[in-house]
Every structure is written in C-alpha cells, then in structure tokens.
Chain A
Amino acid sequence: MDGRDMINVKKLNKSFGDLHVLKDVDITVKESDVVCLIGASGSGKSTLLRCLNFLEIKDNGQIIIEGEEVNADTHNVNEVRQKIGMVFQHFNLFPHKNVIENIIEAPVHVKGISKAQAIKEARELLDKVGLADKEKVYPSKLSGGQKQRVAIARALAMKPDIMLFDEPTSALDPELVGEVLSTMKELAEEGMTMVVVTHEMGFAREVADWVVYMHGGRIVEVGHPDEIFDNPVEERTQEFLSKTF
C-alpha cells in the first residue's frame, strides 16, 4: 500500500506503575491498510491500540494522526477521537438505549446533525451489518455477535477515517465469531483503515495487509501475512506461532 500515512507512532513508551508495557514502539499505518496486532496476552497490543485514541495516555514518544502530532494535554482529544472509531472486546453498548439510539447518540450529540438525518444514516449502517430488523431492540436481547455488529455500526456512524478493534471476537461464542469477522472483512474491502488486535490468525492471514507481532512491549516483527505466518524471521515469532497453530 502506498496511501498517505494515517497513523505514525514513534518511540512510544507507556508504563503502568513499575510495569513498562510499551517500549519504544514504532509503527506506521497507511490509508486503507489493515494492520493486525498479534502476540500473547500482556504483550502490550491492547495498550498500544488504546494509546492511539488516548484512552491510555503515553508516557513519551509521538503519536501522529493524519499528519498531525496529537498530545492529550494540548489537543482536544474529543475531536481527534471523532476520526478514530473503536470497537471493544466487551462491546460496551449503552444498555439503556435501543440499537438505533446507540448508533445516533454521538452523531446527534457530538456532531450535532439532525435526529432524522442520523436515523436515516443509522438505518443504512444497520442494513450494512445485517441488523436492519433490530433497530428498536435493546442490547440485552441481542446475541454477542449482534451486539458487536451494532458496536461496529455505532463507531461507523461517526464516519471515522480509522477503525480500531480491540479483540473484537474474544468474548464471543465460537459460532458467532464468523458474522463479526465477515462484517470486518467487508469494511476492509471498502478501504477502511483498520488496526485490529486479534487472536484470529485465519482473519489476520486472509484480510491483513500487515501483521505486527508484539512481545514484551516491543514490536518484534512486521511483515505481510504470508511472510509472518509461513516464514517468520524472528525466533520468538516462530515460537509464538508454533504454540498458536
């Protein structure tokens, strides 16, 4: 891919107390790239993702979003976040709002677009994720896979340039993983820039443009899926993949 840079991370460090979670992490994501972050639990991949939309605040290093360096203390992160959608492992739908209310919440109350317009767009998104008949349903009545697809639609409703996925299928029953992955695959095919923390190696192999293997807070290896999965260079990558498959 040779689009413009969407995300540049340079020498990013983050600690929780004495625990040094991210160590001099560098990563670049170009427009329409799908980047999958893989690695064992505790390798720092979720923290890296959360630093990208400032749910975690870096200790030092640079985070450059669409060419502009962003610092949580000097920038309005609320504006930056409108460009970056996020999908969580546990969906985090708003339980007191039904499906369509979940989706229109931010467009209406953050972007200030009219409710009628927001509903129109939300219906298109629900159609796209295959849940057109669920708009009046409350999250408690949805399956895990349906909840996650609503969460994806909710993030897309802000028309983000980048989508972050934090283990989007890890909390799902195995038979529901497929429907979420196929929604994500469609999104990737439409050219959405995506950063995905995942344990779904099949998805990474099939959909990712780049696979990033992390270990101990560092990026160990970056490559195309074929390179990483078939001919990993680093010993630790080989070890991780041999345990995974």
Chain B
Amino acid sequence: MPSLSHVIEVFFDTYDIFLKGMLLTLQVTAVSILIAIFIGLFFAFLKISGIKVLEWIANAYIYLVRGTPLIVQIFIFYFGMTNLNISAFWSVALGLAFHNGAYIAEIFRGTIQSIDKGQMEAGRSLGMSRVLTMRRIILPQAFRRALPPLGNQFIIGLKDSSLAAFIGMYELFNVATTKGANDFDNMTYLLIVAVYYLFLVYLISALVGLLEKKLSVSD
C-alpha cells in the first residue's frame, strides 16, 4: 500500500493529465446522457402509446439493453461505427446513450403514469389537445418526479463511461491505468482516480439537488 504522502505528492504532480482525462469523461458522459434523455422520452412514449406494435418495439429495445453487458454494447457500437468513420468519442457516447436510454425510458414511463389522470382530464376539459396537455401539464410534473432516479442514472452513466478505456479513449480510468502501468504504481493511481470520480459524482448529486430544490417551489 502506498503511503498517503506519496499519493498526495503524485496527485499534485499529475493533476494536469488527470484534468484532461476528467474533461473527456465529463464530455462523453454529458453528451451520452443528453442523448439518452431524448431516447428515454421517445421509448417511454412508445410504451404508453397504447399501440401494441410500438409497445413491442420499446419492450424489445429495453430487453436488449438489459440483457447484454454494457461493455459488449460499447464494443458493438465501436466496431460498428468505426466502419462508418465515426470517431471513438462518438461511438462511446452513442453506445452509452443507447444503454442509458433504456433505463431512462423506464424512469419516464413510471413517472408519467404516476401523474393523476385528473391532470390530463383537467387539461382536456379546458380545450387543450392531448399533446399540449402532455407537454405543458404532465411532463413538467413527471420530470420533477423523475429527477431523483434520473440523478442516480446520471451517476451510473458517469461511472460506466470508464469502460471507454477499453477502446482506448484516454479518459479518467485510462489515464490511471496507463500511468500506473508505466510507473509500476497501480494502487497510487487507482486511489487518485477514485478521488476524481468521487468529486464528479458529488458534482452531479449537487447539481441534481439544486434542480430539485428549484422545482420544489410549488410544494
């Protein structure tokens, strides 16, 4: 086990390369989660559409994602997409989005269905269309309820982005393992990278918490 003073020393010696890795981790996580939210909303709507074939498509997608390891999905996206001249960054981002989208779809489906049906009736009785009522009345409430589980999913997405190391993307985890191997000092770098991940998870939790607080003015 390396001494604490050694870990701290290495931490300050290597922060510039770790910050670059962290930036890449943040970028790939942010892009993938943003896309995953749209994928999730889309499949949530398919699931509640009441149209059998659309429900079936959504269920098949969710089954596929849940039933296969994320690393397999990332490799499929990576090898599939590099043939199409798509960069490693985008193939990982899309792979993660494809994966997280399934879980986010279930989160949105659950929270949309949890909104009292009187809300839709109230909107409709005022002459609002189904789509307008969904957009203006149901979704804002559903999104608020979805925030805690969404925050959770964002954290999982962030940590899962470490799998991008396996296709050679030089993000946080890859920085740690590469440096550790070069310096024959794996444990030090793994402890350091853990600190970076903890910081990022703290950041996401704080942001989601802030958003929750902002949206709770109506309580």
Interface residues of A (CB under 8 A from B): 53, 55, 78-79, 81-82, 84-86, 88, 90, 92-98, 105-106, 109-111, 138-140, 154-155, 158
A82 nearest in chain B by CB position: B127
A53 nearest in chain B by CB position: B125
Contact with A along B30-50 (1 / 0, CB 8 A): 000000000000000000000
8 Å CB interface, B92-131 against A? 116, 118-119, 121-129
Minimal beta-carbon separation of B173 from chain A (angstroms): 39
- B141 interface residue (CB < 8 Å to A): yes
Question: When the two chains form their complex, are residues B137 and A94 in contact, meaning their CB atoms are under 8 A apart?
Answer: yes
User: Given the complex, which residues of A lie within 8 Å of B116, measured CB to CB?
Assistant: 92
Q: A53-B125, A55-B121, A109-B136 are in contact. List 11 more A-B contacts (CB 8 A).
A: A82-B126, A82-B127, A84-B125, A94-B122, A97-B218, A106-B128, A110-B127, A138-B217, A138-B219, A139-B218, A140-B218
Minimal beta-carbon separation of B217 from chain A (angstroms): 7
User: Given the complex, which residues of B lie within 8 Å of A96, measured CB to CB?
Assistant: 140-141, 144, 215, 218
Question: When the two chains form their complex, are residues B118 and A154 in contact, meaning their CB atoms are under 8 A apart?
Answer: no
Partner of A140, one of B118, B124, B144, B219: B219
User: Given the complex, which residues of A lie within 8 Å of B128, measured CB to CB?
Assistant: 78, 105-106, 109-110
User: Given the complex, which residues of B lie within 8 Å of A95, measured CB to CB?
Assistant: 141, 218
Question: When the two chains form their complex, are residues A81 and B218 in contact, meaning their CB atoms are under 8 A apart?
Answer: no
Q: How distant is the Cα of A154 from the Cα of B132 in the complex, in angstroms?
A: 17
Chain A CB within 10 Å, residue with most, of B129, B136, B141, B218: B218
Question: When the two chains form their complex, are residues A98 and B127 in contact, meaning their CB atoms are under 8 A apart?
Answer: no
Q: How distant is the Cα of A94 from the Cα of B122 in the complex, in angstroms?
A: 8
Tally of contact residues, B, Cβ under 8 A? 22
User: Given the complex, which residues of B lie within 8 Å of A110, measured CB to CB?
Assistant: 126-128, 132
Minimal beta-carbon separation of B118 from chain A (angstroms): 4
Q: How distant is the Cα of A158 from the Cα of B217 in the complex, in angstroms?
A: 27
Known A94-B119, A105-B136, A138-B217: A55·B125 in contact at CB below 8 Å: yes
B217 nearest in chain A by CB position: A138
Minimal beta-carbon separation of B1 from chain A (angstroms): 52
User: Given the complex, which residues of B lie within 8 Å of A105, measured CB to CB?
Assistant: 126, 128, 136-137
Minimal beta-carbon separation of A46 from chain B (angstroms): 12
A81 nearest in chain B by CB position: B127
Q: How distant is the Cα of A195 from the Cα of B130 in the complex, in angstroms?
A: 25
Minimal beta-carbon separation of B94 from chain A (angstroms): 33
Interface residues of B (CB under 8 A from A): 116, 118-119, 121-129, 132, 136-137, 140-141, 144, 215, 217-219
Question: When the two chains form their complex, are residues A81 and B124 in contact, meaning their CB atoms are under 8 A apart?
Answer: yes
27 contacts between A and B (CB under 8 A): A55-B125, A78-B129, A81-B125, A81-B126, A84-B125, A85-B126, A86-B122, A88-B125, A92-B121, A94-B119, A94-B137, A95-B218, A96-B141, A105-B126, A105-B137, A106-B123, A106-B126, A106-B128, A109-B132, A110-B127, A110-B128, A139-B218, A140-B218, A140-B219, A154-B126, A155-B125, A158-B126
Q: How distant is the Cα of A155 from the Cα of B160 in the complex, in angstroms?
A: 49
A101 nearest in chain B by CB position: B218
Chain B CB within 10 Å, residue with most, of A109, A140, A158: A109
B143 nearest in chain A by CB position: A96
Q: How distant is the Cα of A97 from the Cα of B218 in the complex, in angstroms?
A: 7
Partner of A86, one of B125, B140, B144: B125
Minimal beta-carbon separation of A202 from chain B (angstroms): 27
Question: When the two chains form their complex, are residues B122 and A158 in contact, meaning their CB atoms are under 8 A apart?
Answer: no
User: Given the complex, which residues of A lie within 8 Å of B215, measured CB to CB?
Assistant: 96
B140 nearest in chain A by CB position: A96
Partner of A88, one of B121, B127, B132, B217: B121
Question: When the two chains form their complex, are residues A88 and B219 in contact, meaning their CB atoms are under 8 A apart?
Answer: no
User: Given the complex, which residues of B lie within 8 Å of A88, measured CB to CB?
Assistant: 118, 121-122, 125
Q: How distant is the Cα of A96 from the Cα of B129 in the complex, in angstroms?
A: 19
Minimal beta-carbon separation of B216 from chain A (angstroms): 10
A93 nearest in chain B by CB position: B122
User: Given the complex, which residues of B lie within 8 Å of A140, measured CB to CB?
Assistant: 218-219
Minimal beta-carbon separation of B136 from chain A (angstroms): 6
Minimal beta-carbon separation of A158 from chain B (angstroms): 6
List of 7 A-B pairs having minimum Cβ-Cβ separation, nearest first: A92-B122, A106-B126, A82-B127, A86-B125, A92-B118, A138-B218, A81-B127
